A and B are shown apart, each in its own frame.
Chain A
Amino acid sequence: KQEVTQIPAALSVPEGENLVLNCSFTDSAIYNLQWFRQDPGKGLTSLLLIQSSQREQTSGRLNASLDKSSGRSTLYIAASQPGDSATYLCAVGSSASKIIFGSGTRLSIRP
């Protein structure tokens, strides 16, 4: 049974810092991995999608990497801004029809 873990559960850093969020999964036989952002009381916004054959994806200040063999993904945020404050979720496509979420990292960027 696929399990997805995100550490840390919460993170607070000063504005301008680069930071890394971690996601690990127990079953390496995945289709893809997707990173989402969730603002309080809102839906989930897709940030980056990495297919199982890819090692990384980049969008603006965000870079996501995938190491299937070790069951890990990281989301790197460069030059953090207060507007980056949100909960970040990773989701693993563990079968053709099932996508499992981690519990998220609540990120706070201090001005």
Chain B
Amino acid sequence: EPEVTQTPSHQVTQMGQEVILRCVPISNHLYFYWYRQILGQKVEFLVSFYNNEISEKSEIFDDQFSVERPDGSNFTLKIRSTKLEDSAMYFCASISSPAATGELFFGEGSRLTVL
């Protein structure tokens, strides 16, 4: 069964360092998402991406964040200068339908720990 894959599963970094989280969405999917979940809290929308550009972003997704689809398969989330409060689980997700009427599939997540 097709799945969304994320790497790394866990990354530990020092405050102020740049981090890149990688995702390989399901191959025929068109909409891609990043969500984050701080420990014990709700799953929060960060950004959606369609047709090689950001479709929508939340107030959390400030200038420290960026997304890219550098080739036909990878979808990355970059945090330029990490802060302690960026520590969270980051989930990538994808949908097949451009109207977002399809089923959302999630990866297993990348746990980011900022020291």
Contacts and interface: CB of A to CB of B under 8 A. Distances in A.
Interface of A: 31-32, 34, 36, 42-46, 49, 51, 89, 91, 93, 95-104
B76 to A, nearest CB: 18
A17 to B, nearest CB: 26
A99 B50 contact: no
Contact of B55 (A97, A102, A104): A97
B98 A46 contact: no
A97 B48 contact: yes
Given A46-B103, A49-B103, A96 B42 contact: no
A98 B45 contact: yes
A95 B45 CA distance: 12
A37 to B, nearest CB: 11
Contacts of A95: 56, 100
Given A96-B99, A96-B100, A97-B31, A42 B108 contact: yes
Interface of B: 31, 33, 35, 41-45, 48, 50, 55-56, 91, 93, 98-109
A65 to B, nearest CB: 18
A51 B43 contact: no
Contacts of A97: 31, 48, 50, 55-56, 100
A101 B45 contact: yes
Contacts of B98: 96
Given A46-B104, A101-B43, 16 more contacts: A32-B100, A34-B103, A43-B91, A44-B91, A45-B106, A89-B43, A93-B100, A96-B55, A96-B99, A96-B100, A97-B56, A97-B100, A98-B45, A101-B44, A103-B41, A104-B42
A38 B93 CA distance: 14
28 contacts: A31-B99, A31-B100, A31-B101, A42-B109, A43-B91, A43-B106, A43-B108, A44-B106, A46-B103, A46-B105, A49-B102, A51-B101, A91-B104, A93-B100, A93-B101, A95-B100, A96-B55, A96-B98, A96-B100, A97-B31, A97-B56, A98-B100, A99-B100, A99-B104, A100-B45, A101-B35, A101-B45, A103-B41
